[in-house]
Amino acid sequence: MTAGTTVAAPDGTEVVLGEIGTRVLLKNSRVRVWEVSLAPGEAQGWHLHHNPYVVLCLSTSPCHMDWLDGSPARQLNETVGGSVYRPVSPVHMLTNDGESLYLNRLIEVLDLGEEASGDPYFVIEGVPTDAGFEQVGEVPAKVVVDEDDVRIQHVTPDAGESYTWHTGAYPALVVDLDLDSPDVTYLEPGESYTLPAKLTRTSGFNLVELLYYRRTS
């Protein structure tokens, strides 16, 4: 982590880097999960990513991203439930240009970055390779990111519905997008998670599979 490090802009101005998120929600040797929360008009501050990361949107607002190297700003207008997987990137900052709260979950995948723990990963004997739902029949889920490193599904149960998801041979996370209970749960291979039934239909859940471990198993 580089918060507190001083770097120089192209014009020679010194900039002290900040954290990449507002607060840490979960941390272990494999992942670190941040909350990024920006009120209308608020800027996150200059920061740098040393690990690839996943961004999961819980509350959206028009934003723009500035780059310390002077590259053109990037306009962002994310969708609740949407997901993005990004590699490491140059120093940048995010500003909320809208009139609503911007809120996300940012998952750093540490074993692909500079903070890899070196902890070996072993496939657990008897655990099926693929993740899946316990229920028979159609489940309201769709794949929103399908990369070699990660796969992310967005699940939107109706009010009162609940589904049980079994991880496969690789670690995974379940992110509840309900602003009343925005929980993040880390699952080891072979573990199960029952999505809690809600009184009303919410923005659903994101299921994040860390598939890059299959390259080491």
Residues sharing a CB contact under 8 Å with residue 80, sequence separation 6 or more, in sequence order: 57, 58, 59, 60, 177, 203
Q: Are strands 47-49 and 164-166 parallel, antiparallel or unpaired?
A: unpaired
Q: Which amino acid is at 161?
A: E
Backbone angles phi, psi at 56, to 5 degrees: -120, 120
| Residues recorded for the chain | 217
The CATH number of domain 5-112 is 2.60.120.10 = yes
Per domain, the residue ranges of the chain are 5-112, 132-210
Q: Could you report the per-residue pLDDT of 101-116, keeping only the tens digit for each?
A: 999 999 999 999 988 8
Closest CA to 33 of 171, 167, 215: 171
How many Cα atoms are found within 13 Å in the side-chain-facing hemisphere of 27? 8
Question: What is the full per-residue pLDDT of the chain (217 aa) written as tens digits?
Answer: 677 888 888 888 888 899 999 999 999 999 999 999 999 999 999 999 999 999 999 999 999 999 999 999 999 989 999 899 998 888 999 999 999 999 999 999 999 998 888 887 777 888 888 999 998 889 999 999 999 999 999 999 999 999 999 999 999 999 999 999 999 999 999 999 999 999 999 999 999 999 988 876 5
Rg of the Cα atoms in the chain: 18
Question: Do the first three CATH levels of 5-112 and 132-210 match, i.e. the same topology?
Answer: yes
Q: Measuring CA to CA, how many Å separate 24 from each of 36, 107, 108, 138, 147?
A: 9, 10, 11, 35, 25
Reported pTM: 0.94
Architecture in CATH of 132-210: Sandwich (2.60)
Integer Cα distance of 155 and 203 in angstroms: 9
The contacts of residue 87 (CB under 8 Å, 6+ apart) are 52
